[in-house]
Chain A
Amino acid sequence: AQSVAQPEDQVNVAEGNPLTVKCTYSVSGNPYLFWYVQYPNRGLQFLLKYITGDNLVKGSYGFEAEFNKSQTSFHLKKPSALVSDSALYFCAVRDGNAGNMLTFGGGTRLMVKP
């Protein structure tokens, strides 16, 4: 079975500071990893993905994520946070070797304060 853990319910950061939203995963095969963002009353919006290749993946709105196979982590990062980045962030994983099911983490609320 595959699973995703987002250990922080909420992350608070000041505008202009770097941010990190943590994600760890568990799959039996090769992981396909995704980050989505959800703004209030909106559907989930794709940010970035890791399938293969470079461990550092760059995505939309200046976000990036680093795949770490030994730590089974895929943390989301941004060098300088904006107030408009405040939203709910979801990490998701799919087992590349078995099936097409995408499993989401419980989400982390990012609060960026001016």
Chain B
Amino acid sequence: EAGVVQSPRYKIIEKKQPVAFWCNPISGHNTLYWYLQNLGQGPELLIRYENEEAVDDSQLPKDRFSAERLKGVDSTLKIQPAELGDSAVYLCASSPQGMMGEQYFGPGTRLTVT
């Protein structure tokens, strides 16, 4: 089966510019996650969706970050405006309904803000 797809893989932007990341989860996976991973650190959850509903977004900096998951499939994470400190890898993951099992991660988008 196809894995989690993310695009773009790399993005370089100037500070104050907007940027968007796209994720297509594994078919049939109801739960979708966006994580932020800084260099040499573990992933940190930004937001979790159960179908279309964002059920855990407490770690999302809502002043500049937004996310959506229309129709409960693909998801987009946006930053506007980007800051230098946003440079990181943004990972998308999905899992079947319920959290007993493992999460399946995409390759990530490496964002560099200059």
Write the residues of chain A forming the contact surface with B, with a CB cutoff of 8 angstroms.
4, 32, 34, 36, 41-46, 49, 51, 90, 92, 94, 99-102, 104-107
Contacts and interface: CB of A to CB of B under 8 A. Distances in A.
Interface majority SS (helix, strand, loop, mixed), chain A:
strand
B105 A43 contact: yes
Interface string B81-109: 00000000001010000011111111110
B42 interface: yes
Contacts of A36: 105
A43 B102 contact: no
B102 A49 contact: yes
Contacts of A105: 42
Interface majority SS (helix, strand, loop, mixed), chain B:
loop
Interface stretch (B43-51, B63-71, B72-80): B43-51
A44 B91 contact: yes
Contacts of A51: 100
B94 to A, nearest CB: 11
Contacts, number: 52
Given A43-B4, A44-B105, A107 B100 contact: no
Nearest to B108: A43
A102 B4 contact: no
A51 B101 CA distance: 9
Interface in B20-40: 31, 40
A19 to B, nearest CB: 20
A114 B55 CA distance: 47
B99 A104 contact: no
Given A43-B91, A43-B105, A101 B42 contact: no
Contacts of B101: 49
